[in-house]
Amino acid sequence: MGCFYDKGLKFSCQGCRVCCSVDPGFVFLSEDDIQRMADGLSMERQAFIDTYCRIVDMGQMKMISLLEKENYDCIFLTDKGCKVYPYRPVQCATYPFWAHILENKDAWDEEAKTCPGMNKGQLHSKDEIDKILETRLSNTPVVLI
Pinpoint the alpha helices (H) of 79-125: 90-93, 105-112
Q: What 8-state DSSP symbol labels residue 91?
A: H
Residue 37 C-beta: closest distance to ligand SF4, Å: 8
Pick from 34, 53, 64, 77 the residue near ligand SF4 by CB under 6 A: 77
Shortest reach from residue 99's CB to ligand SF4, in Å: 17
Binding ligand SF4 (rule: CB under 6 A), the pick from 53, 74, 90, 132 is 74
The count of C-alpha atoms lying within 13 angstroms of the C-alpha of 31, restricted to the half-sphere facing its C-beta, is 3
Query: Is position 63 an interface residue for ligand SF4 (rule: CB under 6 A)?
Result: no
76 is a contact residue toward ligand SF4 (CB under 6 A): yes
Strands (E), the chain: 9-11, 53-57, 62-66, 77-78, 81-82, 118-124, 143-144
Work out whether 48 is an interface residue with ligand SF4 (CB under 6 A): no
Rule CB under 6 A: say whether 49 interacts with ligand SF4.
no
Q: Which is nearer to ligand SF4, 84 or 129 (CB)?
A: 84
Cα separation, 38 vs 57, in Å, equals: 23
Size of the site for ligand SF4 (CB under 6 A): 22
